[in-house]
């Protein structure tokens, strides 16, 4: 099924009765609430998530959930990332389905041992007898906060066998895939971009409307199924988060110059829907990967290597990556803009493939 | 002899002036932030001035501090000039980190401050190595780790306190217990009433200090630092304090009551010291007015400097990743 940039085709076909637009925040909140109603083993654990008069989590995703589910299932923790991750893993091993919250993905490094040595390996070490059905939500993305509050560390986790990695970029898919992640029997890290939560990031996202149609009926979006956001015959762009919207904006500009880009949101990096990706690359003969993670060792390198393997004879030009330059994130906005992929850089890299 | 008499009027007035600088700087930054001149976010220090000022008065530029996501007060108290701090908040090339650090990472080796660490508990572990270096080189330097009560539930707090203890490192761990980690009140995340009580678990001494009284902080800080300098460290000081403002921008503070805020505002460290100065030394309004005027002049000059400084150069974003 083909979808357009904002998934309107699919929704207008299937959910005409229930047109309503939600932000990613609202969609995630609905997903969590629905799963908590459905399954008593689901609970939330993290900092500042249920405090009365508080923030509803660092980005307001949990607002109102404490009123419905109470502090027994919306568990406010000390500032103790190791305890948050460890408690989630332990509870998951005992049959619960925790949703753990990191206020910023940068703080995941505080609990790398739990995630990498514990969560990822329990299934395997137990000879397949145990599992860790947990979700870890983590906001990513640069927003003028400097070096320790804007990183996109998805690639670290893609490197670890045993972990699943999801990147959500629109409300419709965010809701459906978070529900699937909660029901998944593996540890799933869900990365969300701070500028895409509400509607305020619209300008940075190239003017795209950041709300999407979300049906009121229940639905699930599977992990490992990429979404073609825009059809094109000349070049395949694989991108996530805000880079996806910047790629769509670049594609729009390039269309005026006669270059038709096919833009794909992989939705999950692990598992990766290589079938959809290679089908596109074999059609277009060109591949550009765009991400806000830094270049070296980023997930774009993995996709490029796989594509070189699988699509070698179809490629008409070198595979290109557009990523944050290899520096810690600088604070000054003018510097930040210089290192993070923007529409112009994406556009010029794609143009270079046709020179 | 009272602490006031021990210090003398001139010293106390200098502490007053420094606290005033920290307060007016933050008020000014908030104004500039609302005007859209400062990008990103700010975590501010109003209310906690007595801690940074009382402790840092005992430190020379060869002593070092670590700070947190709320570093403006520590930076100014340690000697970073308002113009260099403000320019950094603007993201200008003339800022103390060349625009690469920003509000959460103020620092400058010239005054003995590593870039503030905005990961909770981050400074607690790094400071042990600083203390270790001083001990190994027998320099007599000390390191101070400023951190909030929220950090005491991080593993880093415990591992570092224990390591510093067994190594007898020249470190003073200064906890600014402002009662709230973001929106979460301390007594909901710890059954131990005082952070100072935790020191016993690691075999080191600690003290609870009135963090709203700069003279009390000054006295306890001075004793702790002298002890740390002479091989009796580390020491944990818990300064009971309060941030008068939100955790960061857009914080409506719905998690605490207006009554509680009012109660703490009555203990405003600057107002208290002013009253002490009037009562104990008969300092006149004219003297306080002059201090306000000097501080305002310095901040006006700093603002002009920050506004007119050249922007950070985009290409320089690529420099300085490796030594």
Write down the pLDDT at residue A3.
39
How far apart are alpha carbons A35 and A37 in whole angstroms?
5
Q: Provide the β-strand partners of residue A237.
A: A263, A288
pLDDT digits (tens, 9 = 90+) for A327-355: 999 999 999 999 999 999 999 999 999 98
List, for residues A105-133, the tens digit of each pLDDT value.
Answer: 999 999 999 999 999 999 999 999 999 99
Q: Report the range of poorest mean pLDDT among A49-58, A342-351, B95-104, B281-290.
A: A49-58
B102 interaction partners in chain A (CB closer than 8 Å): 144-146, 331-332
Q: How confident is the model at residue A210 (pLDDT cuts 50, 70, 90)?
A: confident
Q: In what side-by-side order are the strands of the sheet with B205-210?
A: B64-66, B143-148, B171-177, B235-240, B205-210
Q: What are A's interface residues with B at a Cβ cutoff of 8 A?
A: 47-48, 51-55, 76-83, 106-107, 109-110, 143-149, 325-328, 330-339
Nearest to B100 among A47, A76, A330 (CB): A330
pLDDT digits 0-9 by tens, A237-296? 999 999 999 999 999 999 999 999 999 999 999 999 999 999 999 999 999 999 999 999
Under DSSP, the state recorded for B63 is S
Nearest CA in chain B to A332: B91
pTM to 2 decimal places? 0.93
Question: Alpha carbon A93 to chain centroid distance?
Answer: 25
Are A79 and B41 within 8 A, CB to CB? no
Residue B250 scores a pLDDT above 90? no
A81-105: pLDDT as tens digits: 999 999 999 999 999 999 999 999 9
Look at residue A11 and tell me whether its pLDDT is greater than 70. no
Question: How close is the nearest chain B Cα to the Cα of A240, in Å?
Answer: 23
pLDDT digits (tens, 9 = 90+) for B233-248: 999 999 999 999 999 9
CATH architecture of A8-213: 3-Layer(aba) Sandwich (3.40)
The domains spanning A8-213 and A227-352 adopt the same CATH topology: yes
Percent of chain B with pLDDT over 70: 100
Q: Do B104 and A149 lie within an 8 Å CB cutoff? A: yes
Structure tokens at B127: 């400071």
Cβ separation B101–A48 shorter than 8 A:
no
Confidence label for B105 from pLDDT (cuts 50, 70 and 90): very high
| % of chain A beyond a pLDDT of 70 | 95
B43 CB neighbours in chain A (<8 A) are: none
In sequence order, which ranges of chain A are alpha helices (DSSP H)?
8-14, 24-38, 65-73, 81-93, 112, 122-125, 154-158, 171-183, 241-256, 274-284, 299-310, 333-339, 343-352
A15's enclosing H/E stretch is none
Please give the Cα distance from A104 to A88 (Å, whole number).
17
Using CB atoms, pick whichever of B118, B154, B314 lies closest to residue A334.
B314
Does the pLDDT of residue A7 top 80, yes or no?
no
Residue burial B171-203, b: 16+ Cβ < 10 Å; e: rest: bbbbbbbbbbbbbbbbeebbeeebbbebbeebe
pLDDT tens column, A181-191: 999 999 999 99
Q: Is A149 a catalytic residue?
A: yes
Within 8 A of A146 by CB-CB distance, chain B residues are 40, 100-105, 118
Least trusted range by pLDDT, from A13-22, A317-326, B311-320? A13-22
Which residue from A51, A79, A80 is facing B255, i.e. has the nearest CB? A51
Q: How confident is the model at residue A198 (pLDDT cuts 50, 70, 90)?
A: confident
Hey, are the CB atoms on A78 and B150 less than 8 Å from each other? yes
Count chain A–chain B contacts defined by CB atoms under 8 A.
Answer: 135
- What is the total residue count of chain B? 323
Residue B39 has pLDDT above 60, yes or no: yes
CATH of domain B3-311: 3.40.50.970
- Among B83, B123, B77, CA closest to B104: B123
ipTM, two decimals, is 0.91
- For A227-352, CATH number? 3.40.50.920
Structure confidence at residue A17 as a pLDDT band (50, 70, 90): low
- pLDDT tens column, B181-190: 999 999 999 9
Judged by CB atoms closer than 8 Å, whether chains meet at A47 and B103 is answered as: no
Nearest-10 crossing angle of helices A299-310, A274-284: 60
pLDDT at position A5 over 60: no
At residue A203, the pLDDT reads 78
pLDDT greater than 50 at residue A2 = no
The two tokens of residue B25 are: 């700087």
CA B204, chain centre distance (Å): 23
pLDDT value of position A18: 58
**Best to test chain B binding among A335, A339, A345 (most B CBs inside 10 Å):** A335
Among partner residues A48, A145, A339, which is closest to B317 by beta-carbon distance?
Answer: A339
User: How sure is the predictor about B154, in pLDDT bands with cuts at 50, 70 and 90?
Assistant: very high
| Binary contact (A148, B117; C-beta < 8 A) | yes
Which residues are bridge partners to A216 per DSSP? none
Residue of chain B whose Cα is closest to the Cα of A326 = B318
User: Is A201 a residue whose pLDDT tops 80?
Assistant: no
Residue range A310-325: mean pLDDT, rounded = 98
The answer to whether the Cβ–Cβ distance between B183 and A330 falls below 8 Å is: no
Mean residue pLDDT across chain B: 97
Consecutive H or E run containing B75: helix B72-78
Compute the distance between CA of residue A134 and CA of residue A187 in angstroms, rounded to an integer: 5
Q: Which residues contact A315 (CB under 8 A, 6 or more apart)?
A: A281, A285, A286, A287, A307, A308
């Amino acid at each position: 099924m083909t979808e357009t940039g904002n998934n309107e085709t699919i929704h207008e076909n299937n959910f005409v009765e229930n047109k309503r637009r939600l932000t990613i925040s609202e969609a995630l909140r609905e997903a969590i609430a629905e799963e908590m109603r459905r399954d008593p083993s689901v609970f939330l654990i993290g900092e500042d998530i249920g405090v009365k008069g508080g923030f509803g989590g660092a980005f307001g995703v949990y607002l109102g959930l404490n009123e419905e589910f109470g502090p027994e299932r919306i568990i406010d923790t000390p500032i103790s990332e190791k305890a948050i991750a460890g408690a989630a893993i332990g509870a998951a091993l005992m049959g619960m389905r925790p949703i753990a919250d990191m206020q910023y993905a940068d703080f995941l490094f505080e609990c790398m041992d739990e995630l990498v040595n514990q969560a990822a390996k329990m299934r395997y070490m137990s000879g397949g007898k145990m599992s860790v059905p947990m979700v870890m939500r983590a906001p990513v993305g640069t927003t003028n906060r400097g070096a320790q509050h804007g990183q996109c560390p998805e690639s670290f986790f893609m490197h670890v066998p045993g972990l699943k990695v999801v990147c959500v970029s629109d409300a419709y898919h965010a809701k459906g895939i978070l529900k699937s992640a909660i029901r998944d029997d593996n540890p799933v890290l869900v990365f969300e971009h701070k500028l895409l939560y509400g509607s305020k990031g619209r300008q940075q996202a190239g003017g795209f409307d950041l709300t999407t149609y979300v049906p009121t009926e229940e639905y699930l979006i599977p992990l490992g199924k990429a979404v073609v956001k825009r059809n094109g015959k000349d070049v395949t762009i694989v991108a996530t988060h805000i880079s996806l919207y910047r790629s769509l904006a670049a594609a729009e500009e390039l269309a005026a110059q006669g270059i038709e880009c096919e833009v794909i949101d992989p939705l999950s990096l692990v598992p990766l829907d290589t079938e959809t990706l290679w089908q596109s690359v074999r059609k277009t003969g060109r591949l550009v990967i765009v991400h806000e993670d830094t270049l070296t060792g980023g997930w774009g390198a993995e996709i490029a290597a796989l594509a070189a393997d699988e699509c070698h004879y179809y490629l008409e030009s070198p595979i290109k990556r557009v990523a944050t330059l290899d520096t810690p994130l600088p604070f000054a906005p003018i510097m930040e803009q210089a290192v993070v992929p923007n529409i112009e850089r994406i556009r010029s890299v794609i143009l270079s493939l046709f020179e | 002899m009272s602490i006031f008499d021990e210090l003398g009027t001139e010293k106390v007035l200098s502490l007053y002036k420094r606290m005033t600088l920290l307060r007016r700087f933050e008020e000014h930054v908030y104004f500039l932030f609302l005007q859209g001149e400062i990008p990103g976010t700010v975590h501010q220090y109003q209310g906690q001035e007595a801690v940074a000022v009382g402790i840092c008065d005992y430190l020379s530029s060869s002593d070092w501090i670590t700070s947190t996501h709320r570093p403006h007060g520590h930076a100014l108290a340690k000697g970073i000039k308002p113009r260099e701090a403000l320019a950094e908040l603007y993201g200008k090339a003339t800022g103390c980190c060349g625009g690469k650090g920003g509000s959460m990472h103020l620092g400058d080796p010239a005054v003995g401050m590593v870039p503030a660490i905005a990961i909770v508990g981050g400074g607690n572990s790094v400071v042990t190595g600083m203390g270790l270096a001083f001990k190994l080189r027998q320099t007599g330097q000390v390191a101070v780790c400023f951190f909030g009560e929220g950090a005491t539930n991080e593993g880093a707090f415990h591992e570092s306190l224990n390591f510093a203890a067994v190594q007898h490192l020249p470190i003073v761990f200064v906890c600014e217990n402002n009662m709230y980690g973001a929106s979460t009140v301390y007594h909901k995340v710890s059954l131990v009433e005082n952070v100072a009580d935790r020191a016993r678990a690691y075999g080191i001494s600690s003290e609870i200090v009135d963090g709203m009284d700069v003279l009390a902080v000054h006295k306890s800080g001075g004793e702790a630092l002298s002890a740390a300098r002479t091989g009796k460290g580390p020491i944990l000081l818990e300064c009971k304090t309060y941030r008068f403002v939100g955790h960061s921008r857009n914080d409506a503070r719905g998690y605490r009551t207006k009554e509680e805020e009012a109660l703490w505002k009555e203990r405003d460290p600057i107002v208290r010291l002013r009253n002490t100065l009037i009562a104990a030394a008969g300092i006149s309004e004219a003297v306080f007015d002059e201090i306000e005027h000097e501080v305002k002049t310095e901040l006006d000059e700093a603002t002009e400097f920050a506004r007119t400084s050249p922007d950070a150069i985009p290409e320089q974003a690529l420099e300085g990743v490796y030594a």
